[in-house]
Structure 1
């Protein structure tokens, strides 16, 4: 049984009288937390909008005279690959990796000359210069930087390929190649014939 004393009555009354004074500060704290959450959500939505807006559709006529057997434009600025089939009825766009520096970036016209499922990877001399610890060769598999599929261009050592490191997509992260998610390069690989014209811009 609780003893009712003048001291208990005093402190109980004091606590009760303080509640109205504490309530506004609690409400302000809750409001500040909600404001921060709203601001974070708005920032996330803004980032998504910016990312989406950077992937603008392209018109193949701005790059090629005809579609040929198929056409690909790799846009190194927006970090997206654009694909059209031979009659333009199939247009697809994929997020990509792009070269780390302007020195590693090769722009211009080329074409697909070879395709390989489960490519092996051999570092170029310039890669070895930057990192002498690189292996002589890597077989197909999870450590291979070319991912599951590769399409070779007329330019030696320049490819359109997959990657197991999905953090690289959308970034300046390659040594010159254009990289796609493995599931996307598999899709592109199936629909892209040898002889497809390619432009890097």
Structure 2
């Protein structure tokens, strides 16, 4: 059964705390990824994977070109580089690639889609002697009024070069504009499903490619999960039918690793009446983690830091 809870909003406002905490953000370093694009070895312990790094823009590249090359979505690249022009970063401009992630608090089994994060995680089965890994890719999800559903489902079918049958809502919108929507859109450059589609057990919902890749990392679909063409092709080749898919909405993540508490929050659409409940959820998460190490946390400082840098992982190192 699908989880009918409303979409969480941005972790914002002031949470009360009494003791002090040294808070530092993880600085990006200039380096290249050693693993294939979007692939990371699973940590033996903890949830932290990857690390941020910087690249240098060329004269012809847009910020979106750079984001796609490094498996980053629209919101992620904008939030990591707020002062860099979207269309003309400029030759020689350093661009931060936010390639560090806290794994969601969800089963490390099959596919996990974190709606708040606009990101998909895939935990493939590995053979004997292979390093356990996770693959993670940016996604586009449902816009307002077409929310991507939550809950646990499974993959049921994989289609290469699928045809698209516009739903009633598309035909109605076209009629309102005085246009006529086609009954079917065959494979090709005009097909919004792209070349690869993975059907879910939830009727009418798919993980698929797109003919508009600039929308990856945004809330712009009618509820389906969109991916860059090269990412969905890689997933298509790797994911078996009957793979579990966990659709979650986790705007606040926190975990201990190597004696340090890491936290991450995401800028999701704010709904004032939900703000308190989401602050309380974040507080409960941190209280549980705090108890594991018997340390205290300045929640007001944490809230201010995460609101100032949505999506950025912060390390919380207690004073000695």
Fold shared, TM-score > 0.5 on shorter chain? yes
Question: What residue in structure 2 maps to residue 95 of structure 1?
Answer: 138
- Out of 165, 171, 181, the residue aligned to residue 212 of structure 2 is 165
**Structure 1: 5+ residue stretches without partners:** 1-40
- Out of 83, 87, 90, the residue aligned to residue 122 of structure 2 is 83
Question: What residue in structure 2 maps to residue 20 of structure 1?
Answer: none
SS at match of 1:91: strand
Name the CA shift for 1:130/1:109 in 2 (closer, same or farther; >3 Å).
farther
Say if 1:124 and 1:157, in contact at 8 Å, map to a contact too.
no
Q: CA deviation at 1:102?
A: 5.1
Mapped pair 1:120 → 2:163: yes
- Out of 235, 241, 244, the residue aligned to residue 194 of structure 1 is 241
Say if 2:146 and 2:222, in contact at 8 Å, map to a contact too.
no
Name the CA shift for 1:161/1:103 in 2 (closer, same or farther; >3 Å).
closer
Which of the two has higher C-alpha Rg?
1
Mapped pair 1:175 → 2:222: yes
- Out of 83, 91, 112, the residue aligned to residue 43 of structure 1 is 83
Higher relative contact order (CA 8 A, sep 6+): 2
The CA RMSD measured in Å over matched residues stands at 2.5
Give, in whole Å, the separation in 2 of the partners of 1:171 and 1:122.
Answer: 23
Name the CA shift for 1:135/1:195 in 2 (closer, same or farther; >3 Å).
same
Greater helix fraction, Structure 1 or Structure 2: 1
Q: CA deviation at 1:128?
A: 2.3
SS at match of 2:155: strand
SS at match of 1:131: helix
Mapped pair 1:52 → 2:98: yes
Give, in whole Å, the separation in 1 of the partners of 2:106 and 2:173.
Answer: 34
